[in-house]
Amino acid sequence: MTANSKNNNHLETSKSPKIVNRKLVFFLICSIVFGSLSFVSYKPVEASKNDYSVAIVNNSKTTLEIVDKPVSNLATEKSNSNTDSSPITVFNNTKASENQFALIVGTYQEKYNAVILEKEMKKRGFKHCSIIANNNSNKYWVTVDFYKDKNEAETARERFLIDGWIKQI
């Protein structure tokens, strides 16, 4: 190698950190711009009120008796929580039920799958686990328990370390 080629090599290596520095500065500027734009354009979304009725399913039947039926075929009568005369408890969107929050751990389109999760949760020690049938969306929600306010439901979710969500009934 000659002296000129060594100088050229040195120039090429000294240019590459400058290019890297330019790329780094460009990346940092873009990050700051996009980050600040995300804070500026953020708007909180208000939760809408539920305008549908849901039903709690009591699965005292055996697995052979459980047949997938459309949710519309389910009885819509309100039953007492103390008696098991009816397999379904319906919560209409009234003042009495607006203040109830459910800690939901699963959503299924087939009743059979919801029943399986409910049995599994009861085996884990959640005695008040039940199934809620949504008449409008034909889905079954498996809930651990019902709570009077959202804060109580959030503390229960954290206490039990459950990966679920809270739904106002």
pLDDT tens profile 28-38? 999 999 988 88
Residue range 150-158: average pLDDT? 86
- CB distance 147 to 82 below 8 Å: no
What DSSP line would sit under the chain, residue for residue? --HHHHHHHHHHHHHHHHHHHHHHHHHHHHHHHHHHHHHHT--PPPPPPP-S-EEEEP--S-TTT-----GGGS------SS--SSSEEEE-SSHHHHT-EEEEEEEESSHHHHHHHHHHHHHTT-TT-EEEEETTTTEEEEEEEEESSHHHHHHHHHHHT---EEEE-
The model's pTM is 0.46
Give the pLDDT confidence of 75-133 residue by residue, as tens digits: 333 333 333 332 334 444 433 355 588 889 998 988 889 999 999 989 988 888 889 88
Distance CA 150, CA 59 (A): 26
From the number of C-beta atoms within 10 Å of its C-beta (0-12, 13-18, 19+), residue 143 rates as buried
How far is the CA of 126 from the CAs of 119, 142, 148, 152, 155, in angstroms? 9, 11, 18, 16, 15
* Mean pLDDT score, 11-35: 81
